[in-house]
Chain A
Amino acid sequence: MSSLVVKRSVLLAKLIKHVNSEAKRLSSHFVYFPDNGKPVEGETTKMNMMQAINNAMDLTLRSDPTAVVFGEDVAFGGVFRCALGLQEKYGKDRVFNTPLCEQGIAGFGIGLATAGATAIAEIQFADYIFPAFDQLVNEAAKARYRSGGQFPCGALTVRTPCGAVGHGGLYHSQSPEAFFAHVPGLKVVVPRGPTAAKGLLLSCIREKDPCIFLEPKILYRSATEDVPVEDYTLPLGKAQVLREGDAATLVAWGTQVHVLLEVAQKAHDELGVSCEVIDLQSILPWDEETVCNSVKKTGRCLIAHEAPLTSGFGAEVAATVQEECFLHLEAPIGRVTGWDAPFPHVFEPFYLPTVSRCYDELRRLLQY
């Protein structure tokens, strides 16, 4: 009898150990650093990023009668719940499902914008934006230019969840920002959390150019902070310095900002150095000035992103920093990114530019 109890407790202990190690394997690769500073004074409320995005669309639908929200499964609130409650509030002609066809969604959105409506299109995952690549690259981006300003489609915003989520595999994890960064005429924006998401999304919606708003899906529920209740916008094309320092400049966007904030903290605790952390926020056009001024001060630059290395947006940032800050650089520019492979399922912990990979690269730069 007693041996059975022992056996049971051993089994239980094994089970707990197993669950723990499983949990470790599946735990997210970053710690969320909430925003401290608020972009506007006034009342705030706790929101996760999904709620902040919902709030931005709610404010838009309320104030702009031409605005419509559409995509696959947005009517019932969207698979990530970002459009939750909007159809009940604003009606079926303003928040609606489309057929399952991304090129149609993008083209339809361009047409809405051409005819004077505010179009907020959702592509269910950024991995599925490629069927709409032609509409976005050849049409939306070039509409103003080719018509001599007669038929712009600046009232189009395409929202799409992007980035690693722990178990998304090849087609629920991609970060396609670099594909679009090569397209004059588009604006590409990635927020790092709820406060930034609300302000940047409202800017994208009101911007006179077509915008692609990439939402790191892992932050939808995991990122929570006090977000201003009122309507506010954050400037596009502007980076934000989140942590000041003089030892090195760390540049990232989206979820990766939090990885680098942790790296900076670790470098402070273990190496006694202070690093400057910059959230780029806008990929196109991007804020060269803020990044280059920082690198001129620190002399070192590390760029990190989840997307693959080769021709990733880090390459553009690195080339520009090298060109603008050549005489200030004390070490080669470091890039820590996803590997040049499709985004894998079970190998995700090894694929991502983790805190330890970034920290290791930072140490190398500091010792160079």
Chain B
Amino acid sequence: MALHSGVSFVRLNGFRHLARLLSTHRKPNIVQNEKNADFPGAKAPYVTEIKFLNESSYDPIPIYRVLDNNGEVIDNNEEPNIDRDTLLNMYKSMIQLSQMDKILYESQRQGRISFYMTNYGEEGIHVGSAAALSPKDLVFAQYREVGVFLFRGYTVTELVNQCYGNCEDPGKGKQMPVHYGSKQHNIVTISSPLATQMPQAVGAAYALKRIPNNDRCVICYFGEGAASEGDAHAAFNFAATLDCPVIMLCRNNGYAISTPTGEQYRGDGIASRGPALGLNTVRVDGTDPLAVYNAVTRARELVLGTNKPVLIEAMSYRVGHHSTSDDSSAYRPLEEIDKWTKDESPIQKFRLYLEQKGLWNEEADKAWAKECRNTVVRTMQDAEKKKLPHWKEMLEDVYYDMPPRIQKQIQQMEDHLKKYQEHYPLNRYQSE
């Protein structure tokens, strides 16, 4: 234990040193005396000159990266020591995800599922972060983090069942597609309202912190658009003031549906808000799975060693449309998408890296992509054959015990269906 905390201390100091090097804060010009004023609200010296600070008073927070566009490690000291199986699992999860995205996106276009959201361009954030965590760490996600599920062993079958809302969906078909959740894999069920998961993640981290010998942290994913919600502010502030072991990971992909970041905020992205609220903060290249891995690994050590939160802003680009209900060519140029697909693809970078290490080759790539496609197609065929849950499931799990009024409503619907069943698609649903 002493050794463990000693190691964390050394690591913490390393992190602090890094933070200091990266820090671009400039001291005010005139300091009347070194002693701070006595106001309870801030520890600061007096000055005799008015100086307004704004976003350009500081240098932008730099973007940490390990790999270049060709998948080469830029600074060998920064190459993480990840075992072969984990590296392959990371890559395979990315491919599986992008193949699943392709097929499910098409299937929505064909009307086979009602809705879908792809993960193109952000796969590296998912697997890089997931690989750096313990499977026991609790995940709160927004909706574009499916790679975390796949990396943790949640199967394509389980994902597809959710999208179809069939009788094998653990959510019993109640939510829209892509609203996954898995108790077994410690990933809290996704909900549509943006940023609501953020203060919840902080509360969960507080609960874990209070468990004796806690070795679990919480990670909370959110987009840069969601960071404009009031709940994001609440989460950052609560995490810092209540000392919670939580990693707040922002996927800054440049767009919230059609809204570009220039209309989302005027400061230096999301990362600049971290130090302002007392969070240890770092900005990383989200198209570089190894950079994300390193940042989350260090963040995890830091939050568990100190119970202080960390904010990570992973820069990326939303290559796909926002969802199947969106045509992104209406608000952004195709060349822009092209650039990010070709030069800064996390999948391509990571494949080149693995190939240089001799862990992967073109043949393996083709075979795996084919297997992934087959898995999805086969799973979809199975999922389509499965019945939807019994209609009574509609009124289950509202409460732990069903109140009399809901029992009565089940009875009313049952009586109604006896008389009017031909007006309902009962054959698609399980019967008793």
Contacts and interface: CB of A to CB of B under 8 A. Distances in A.
Nearest to A119: B203
A109 B399 contact: no
Contacts, number: 157
Given A114-B188, A115-B208, A144-B397, A108 B200 contact: yes
B95 interface: no
A112 B204 contact: yes
Nearest to A139: B196
Given A103-B199, A107-B196, A114-B200, A144 B208 contact: no
A45 interface: no
Nearest to B398: A184
A111 B174 contact: no
Nearest to B220: A111
B175 A135 contact: no
A146 B175 contact: yes
B403 interface: yes
A101 interface: yes
A151 B204 CA distance: 12
Interface stretch (B68-76, B106-114, B178-186, B314-322): B178-186
Measured as residues with beta carbon below 8 angstroms from the partner, the interface class of chain B is: 35 or more
B138 interface: yes
B260 interface: no
Contacts of A39: none
Contact of B170 (A93, A138, A148, A288): A148
B399 A185 contact: yes
Interface string A131-171: 10011001100111111111110100000000000000000
Contacts of B174: 145-146, 148
B198 interface: yes
A211 B317 CA distance: 41
Contacts of B172: 148
Contacts of B138: 115
A209 B402 CA distance: 11
Task: Tell which of B179, B208, B399 has the most Cβ of chain A within 10 Å.
Answer: B399
B29 to A, nearest CB: 32
A135 B199 contact: yes
B169 interface: yes
Looking at A106, A107, A109, A237, which has the most chain B CB atoms within 10 Å of its CB?
Answer: A107
B189 A107 contact: no
Contacts of B405: 285, 288
A336 interface: no
A117 B138 CA distance: 14
Interface in A272-310: 285, 288-289
Interface stretch (B32-40, B57-65, B231-239, B378-386): B231-239
A150 B230 contact: no
A288 B183 contact: no
Contacts of A115: 138, 203-205, 207-208, 218
Interface string B221-237: 00000000011011101
B191 interface: yes
Interface in A63-118: 66, 68, 93, 96, 98-99, 101, 103-104, 106-117
B237 A150 contact: no
A99 B385 CA distance: 51
A11 to B, nearest CB: 47
Contact of A111 (B169, B189, B204, B399): B204
A111 B203 CA distance: 4
Contacts of B188: 114, 147, 151
Interface in B145-204: 169-172, 174-175, 179, 181-183, 188-189, 191, 193, 196, 198-204
Contacts of B205: 111, 115
Nearest to B399: A209
Contacts of A289: 404
A208 interface: yes
Contacts of B404: 237, 285, 288-289
B202 A147 contact: no
Contacts of B230: 101, 103, 131
Interface of B: 138, 140, 169-172, 174-175, 179, 181-183, 188-189, 191, 193, 196, 198-208, 210, 218, 230-231, 233-235, 237-238, 241-242, 397-401, 403-406
Given A104-B234, A106-B199, A107-B202, 7 more contacts: A99-B241, A101-B234, A108-B234, A111-B204, A139-B193, A147-B170, A285-B405
Of all A-B residue pairs in the complex, the 9 with the closest CB atoms, nearest first, are A111-B203, A107-B199, A104-B234, A208-B400, A111-B200, A147-B189, A115-B207, A108-B203, A285-B403
29 contacts: A66-B207, A66-B210, A99-B241, A103-B199, A104-B235, A107-B200, A107-B235, A108-B202, A109-B203, A111-B201, A111-B205, A111-B206, A112-B206, A112-B207, A114-B207, A115-B205, A134-B193, A142-B191, A148-B169, A148-B174, A148-B397, A151-B183, A185-B398, A185-B399, A208-B400, A237-B403, A237-B404, A285-B403, A285-B404
